[in-house]
Amino acid sequence: MTVPILRMQGICKSFGPGIIAADDVTFSVNRGEIHALAGENGAGKTTLMKILYGLEKAQRGEIFLHDRRITINSPKDAMSHGIGMVHQHFMLVDELTVAENVVLGIEPRRAGLFDRKAAEHLVRSLSERYDMPVEPTARAADLNVATKQKVEILKVLARNAELIILDEPTAVLTPQETKRFFEQLKTLRDLGKTIVIITHKLPEIKAICDRITILRKGRTIGTYFVSDISESEISRKMIGTEPPPERFPQADSAGLPRLSVRHIWCFGPHGKAALKDMSFDLRGGEMLGVIGVEGNGQRELVGVLTGKIVPDHGNVILNEGILPSSLSSIRKEGVSFIPEDRMNDGVDLDASIEENVTALLRQNRDHLVGPFFKSRKLSVSGRRLTEGFDVRMGSLRDSIRHLSGGNMQKVVCAREIDACGTVLIADQPTRGVDVGSLRTIHDQMEALRAAGKGILLISSDLQEIRALCRRAIILHQGTIAAEIDDLSACSEEELGLYMLGIKRQEPVSPEVAHE
Amino acid sequence: MNNPSAWKKFFAHLRTWLIGPRWQTALIETVRTLGAIVIAYLIAFVIIALVSDDPQNAIRWFVLGPLSSSAERGEVLKNATPLLFAGIGACLIIRGGHFNMFTEGAFYAGGLIAALAAIYFDLPPALAITVPLLCGMAGSMIVGFLPAKLKTAYGVNEFVSSIMFNFIVLWVGVWLISNVVIDVSSGDNATRPIPDPSRLPILVRDTNVTVGILIAVAVALLAHLYLNRTKWGFAVRMSGDNPHFARHIGIPVAKAGTHSQVIGIGIAGLGGGVEILSNYRRFNWKTLPGYGFDGFMVAIMAKNKPLMVPYAALFIGYLRSGADLMAFNSDVAQEVVQIIQGLILILVASEAFFSSSWLRNRIGALKFRKKPDESGSEVADHV
């Protein structure tokens, strides 16, 4: 009979009044199962796991491990109880090797010095036992995302974790990589490890998890056997209403080209070409998807379009003129830009929600008298934008730091979509965002497209691009591996083959070939 | 307001404001600062008790001396005035994300230029104060533009270059008052006397408090408005908080950085002018006055908020007065106060001390202890 290895009871956590992340949450996990912790963003999944891992402190509640009550004040405590966590954003030191990263903080020593041989041996034996092939001497910087994830899991295993928490592990993986990753998780489970996956992707829950606990607004809705509950039931319990209907992109009302990229070449710091002879058009009234495994030129492409990188060859035509060289003048042409890195580029964590959502309006003449702000008008605009995007918050004047990731992203999207005059460049606009927020953001982007603006959607989520775009380009190693005119006619497997560079489309567009 | 629902709405607003994170943050920061001060004072008392034969007397002068008479209270205000200017200047510089120490040189340059303008320009009485002050301010801004621009245009570390500029300004000034504008009859390396119409009028009788402190408070208000209500201040704050974000929303980060440094330096320069025209008959500074450095201490205590600077400056002014009185009336050396100031700064600035998450957890726990029908259901809606 299965016994709970871990039980969390009556957990309460608030980040200041009005922002309750956990309200009397109960959560229990059995030994040797894969347990999904599901819920919208801001439902409290990550917070609950951070409490378990000692990164946050609960104000009330108890944690029992093997029916013994324990207190966890730091990740070190959690580790000593055999609890390990892999974060959504990897925490590897790029300059160090895989082995060095794995043993960081628990270095094997010989004669008081770091014993590299022992470290590499440890990594090798772990990766064999758990079927996670990694080269211990490789540098972390040179690894691809999937391998980095393996290293993170090895890091946890090296610390003798029995219970492994994975925060949105598949957000950065291609469909093929995800499949492989799931097999590895099953191996781990069969070897007696217990796994908790924080996720909101329903197919994955169905594919791999044994049980599921659903959270909504900081409360436990219930724990179910995955085999006993349907996807739509899970979704209903997560968001409290019917799941969003699957969207099929309408035929694009193709307008004039708003943004034309012509034979762009970009060379990286070591002379390696990051973009090779890339050309495409973005028309008004269309949403063009950019598909590709991360690190295949997306960052450089966005860098060129936002004036951060000057292409070494080729040019970009924006609204029939040459793309200006600075972001502020590009913005003056009506381009707005949802950045990939929300925390760094998207918001000022020290400023209020209102200041963040009106940051662009604050440079706009309508909201200024001379150099002074029209405070009332700004707060009206702030309220209009946050309400339009259904940002769940206490007060507009609160620091944006207190918002959950999904709500923070809605603030960013509200600001950029509102300011969009001609073209929107959306770089991973819904990464790590819950179903409800995702729907709001998608609706608003779709409305913007219908209003005749051109949208370039860069996303690692294939489902997102398939739901919103009709046309897409697939990047592989800085080139366009394929240009798909009708996504609905192309299977996911085929897209995966293009993404991995196994298959390529011959350059057919005469314009690209001859110009 | 007779309408009961209007009252209800008002109280609901009041309540969200009172229990909102903003108020909580303010409370936490105040408690933290006060806690740091109390601990630093306790340590100071221990030190005084160790070095003094009559610690009771020493502590009495140290703590109560500055408040004992109106002349002493005036001394506190006099001490606080230059710290106020320097503190506000430092606030603007820090908020823009820089650490430009030229506030120090600006104090010197502002004082010297204001004195020279007062002495050598033949000014009508109506302009005898404003013109020298503005000259001092403008002069220091022109010099201060160089380290600021070097930082934002070429990435030259402003901390190092501004300290070097301090010495350049100091030695140019010493050379001037020793060779060019020297008044031999003074028996010192000093300028001619500052004409009476240019001296700032006394504000409170029988003290040394001049209208300088009013100017300082007005500057604090203007700095607050500048930072929080204008597009320039917004650009400065965003560039300082998160330059990536500032660039993303199209703010010229380098320009905003130069901007904030030059304005901060100008305020320090104005402070130098006010100091000279308030408290000195001639300009005779042969070392850097030290106010510029103190300004950074004041700014850090005030959490870089211009409206909090007057309190921090008053506190440091009070601390200085107490130290002077204790040194004069007891056997404790004035150096002790330097130790106390150092302690306070360490305690106030250290984030680990009373870390805000520690306190926030206590406060959050209080809320959960309430009965569920009081707050539970309503608050949960916001999540």
- Asked whether residue B58 is assigned to any structural domain, the reply reads no
Q: Are the CB atoms for B44 and B344 separated by under 8 Å?
A: no
Residue B247 lies inside a defined structural domain of this protein: yes
Could you tell me if B75 and B7 lie in one domain? no
- Hunting for tokens 């992203």 — which residue is that? A409
DSSP class of A454: E
Contact residues on chain A for B376, CB-CB shorter than 8 A:
23
Contact criterion met (CB < 8 Å) for A362 and B234: yes
Could you tell me which residues are beta bridge partners of residue A22?
A13
pLDDT digit string (tens) for chain A, length 515 residues: 467 889 998 898 877 555 677 888 999 999 889 999 988 766 788 889 999 998 888 888 899 988 889 888 888 889 889 999 988 777 888 888 898 988 888 888 888 888 888 889 999 998 888 888 888 888 888 887 788 888 988 988 888 889 999 988 887 777 788 888 898 889 889 988 999 998 877 788 888 899 999 988 788 888 999 888 887 788 778 766 544 445 656 655 667 888 999 999 988 766 678 888 899 999 888 899 998 877 788 888 999 998 888 888 888 998 888 888 888 889 988 899 999 888 888 999 888 999 999 999 888 888 888 888 988 899 899 999 999 888 888 788 888 887 877 888 899 999 999 998 899 999 988 876 777 788 889 999 999 988 888 999 998 777 788 888 889 999 988 889 889 888 888 887 788 778 877 778 775 544 444 43
Confirm whether B59 is domain-assigned. Answer: no
Q: Do B248 and A337 touch (CB under 8 A)?
A: yes
Residue from the list B25, B241, B250 with its beta carbon closest to the beta carbon of A331: B250
Residue B243's CATH number: 1.10.3470
- What 3-state class would DSSP assign to A365? helix
- Within 13 Å of residue B60, how many CA atoms lie on the same side as its CB? 7
Reading phi first (left if > 0) and then psi (alpha if -120 to 50, else beta), residue A237 is in: alpha
Q: Give A283's strand partners.
A: A257
Do residues B141 and B272 both lie within one domain?
yes
Amino acid at A203: P
ipTM over 0.85: no
Note whether A45 and A88 are within 8 A (CB).
no
pLDDT of residue A2: 64
Residue B60 covered by a domain: no
Q: DSSP letter string over B12-59?
A: HHHHHHHHSHHHHHHHHHHHHHHHHHHHHHHHHHHHHHHH-SSHHHHH
Q: Determine the Cα–Cα distance for residues A456 and A167; give it in Å rounded to an integer.
A: 28
d(CA A369, CA A55): 46
Phi–psi pair at B305, nearest 5 degrees: -110, 120
**Do B24 and B108 share a structural domain?**
no
Do B374 and B306 fall into the same domain?
no
Q: Which residues from chain A sit within 8 angstroms of residue B94, using beta carbons?
A: none
Q: Do B238 and A344 touch (CB under 8 A)?
A: no
The CA distance from A255 to A285, in Å, is 6
More confidently predicted of A16 and B371:
A16
| Pairwise CA distance, residues A184 & A132, whole Å | 7
CB contact under 8 A, A60 and B368: yes
Same-domain check for residues B232 and B369: no
Residues from chain B contacting residue A400 (CB–CB below 8 Å): none
DSSP class of residue A251? P
Q: CA-CA distance, B41 to B62, in Å (whole number)?
A: 10
Give the global pTM.
0.73
**Interchain contact, A394 vs B248, CB within 8 Å:** no
Q: What is the SS3 assignment for A36?
A: strand
> Of the candidates B305, B331, B357, which is a domain's last residue?
B331
> Does the CB of A362 have a partner CB in chain B at under 8 Å?
yes
Angstrom distance (rounded) from CA A81 to CA A67: 13
**Partner-chain contact A348 B241, CB within 8 Å:** yes
For residue A309, give the 3-state DSSP assignment.
Answer: coil
Token duo for residue A361: 């309006």
Q: DSSP labels for A344-355?
A: III--TTSBHHH
Instruction: Indicate whether B370 pLDDT > 60.
Output: no
In a domain, B63, yes or no: no
Can you give the pLDDT at residue A254?
67
Last residue of a domain, one of B288, B314, B331: B331
- Residue B86 near residue B103 (C-beta atoms within 8 A): yes
Structure confidence at residue B245 (pLDDT): 92
Quote the percentage of chain B above a pLDDT of 70.
Answer: 87
* Residue B320 tokens, joined: 């200085």
Of A21, A328, A398, the CB nearest to B20: A398
Q: Which of B237, B248, B364 sits opposite A14 (nearest CB)?
A: B364
CB contact under 8 A, A328 and B251: yes
Q: Give the distance from residue A380's alpha carbon to the nearest chain B alpha carbon, in angstroms.
A: 16
Nearest-CA distance B219 → chain A (Å): 17
Task: Check pLDDT > 90 for residue B267.
Answer: yes
B270 and B215 co-located in one domain:
yes
> Which site among A11, A15, A20 would you substitute to test the B interface, given the most B Cβ atoms closer than 10 Å to its Cβ?
A20
Best CA proximity match to B30, nearest among B320, B317, B354, B294: B354
Query: Is residue B280 domain-shared with residue B316, that is, in the same domain?
Result: yes
Residue B131 Cα distances to A375, B106, B184, B199, angstroms? 34, 17, 26, 12
- Residues of chain B positioned with their CB less than 8 A from the CB of A48: none
B371 pLDDT more than 70: no
Is B5 part of a structural domain of the chain?
yes
User: Counting beta carbons within 10 angstroms of the beta carbon of residue A69, is it exposed (0 to 12), middle (13 to 18) or buried (19 or more)?
Assistant: exposed
Supply the pLDDT for residue A418: 92
Q: Is the Cβ of A368 closer than 8 Å to some Cβ of chain B?
A: yes
* pLDDT value, residue B376: 35
In this complex, the residue of B21, B232, B244 whose CB is nearest that of residue A16 is B21
* Confidence at B345, pLDDT banded by 50, 70, 90: low
Q: Are residues B150 and B258 in the same domain?
A: yes
C-alpha–C-alpha distance, residues A435 and A413, integer Å: 15
Give, in order, the Cα–Cα distances in Å from B24 to each of A15, A92, B340, B364. Answer: 11, 35, 28, 10
Classified as helix, coil or strand, A277 is strand
Could you tell me which of A108, A120, A181, A196 has the C-alpha nearest to residue A148?
A: A181
**Beta strand A423-427 pairing with A335-338:** parallel
Domain annotation covers residue B369? yes
Q: Which residues contact B121 (CB under 8 A, 6 or more apart)?
A: B131, B132
Domain end point (choices B331, B347, B365): B331
Q: CB of A394 within 8 Å of any CB in chain B? A: yes
Q: Which residues of B touch A (CB under 8 A)?
A: 16-17, 19-22, 24-25, 229-232, 234, 237-238, 241-242, 244-252, 357, 360-361, 364-365, 367-368, 376, 379-380, 382-383
Q: Do A399 and B247 touch (CB under 8 A)?
A: no
Token pair in block for residue A463: 């489902």
In the predicted model, what is the mean pLDDT of residues B334-361? 62
Compute the average pLDDT of residues B347-370.
Answer: 50
Please indicate, yes or no, if residue B356 is contained in any of the structural domains.
yes
Contact A20 B25 (CB under 8 A): no
pLDDT computed for residue A253 by the predictor: 62
Edge to edge, the sheet with strand A471-476 lists A335-338, A423-427, A454-458, A287-291, A471-476, A479-484
Question: Which amino acid is it at B228?
Answer: N
The answer to whether B20 contacts A17, with C-beta atoms less than 8 Å apart, is: yes
CA–CA gap between residue B105 and residue B112 (Å, rounded) = 11
CB contacts under 8 A, A 20-59 vs B, are: 20-21, 23, 42, 44, 57, 59
Q: What percent of chain B has pLDDT over 90?
A: 33
Same domain assignment for residues B126 and B32: no
* Domain that includes residue B375, residue range: 1-52+335-383
10 Å Cβ neighbour count for A128? 10
Q: Measured between alpha carbons, how far is A33 from A249 in angstroms, rounded to an integer?
A: 39
Measure Cα distances from B77 to A110, B279, B303 in Å: 64, 13, 21
By the 10 Å C-beta count (0-12 exposed, 13-18 middle, 19+ buried), B369 is classed as exposed
> What confidence tens digit (pLDDT) does each residue in B21-39 have?
667 777 777 787 788 788 8
SS3 for A61?
Answer: strand
Co-location of B312 and B186 in the same domain:
yes
Tell me whether residues A20 and B383 touch, CB distance under 8 A: yes
The total number of structural domains that make up chain B: 2
Nearest residue of B to residue A390 by CA position? B382
Residues of A in contact with B361 (CB under 8 A): 57, 59
B326 & B348 share domain: no
Residue A512 falls in which region: left (phi positive, over 0), alpha (psi -120 to 50) or beta = alpha
Shared domain check, B343 and B218: no
pLDDT of residue A174: 75
Please indicate whether, in this complex, the C-beta atoms of B230 and A372 are within 8 angstroms of each other: yes
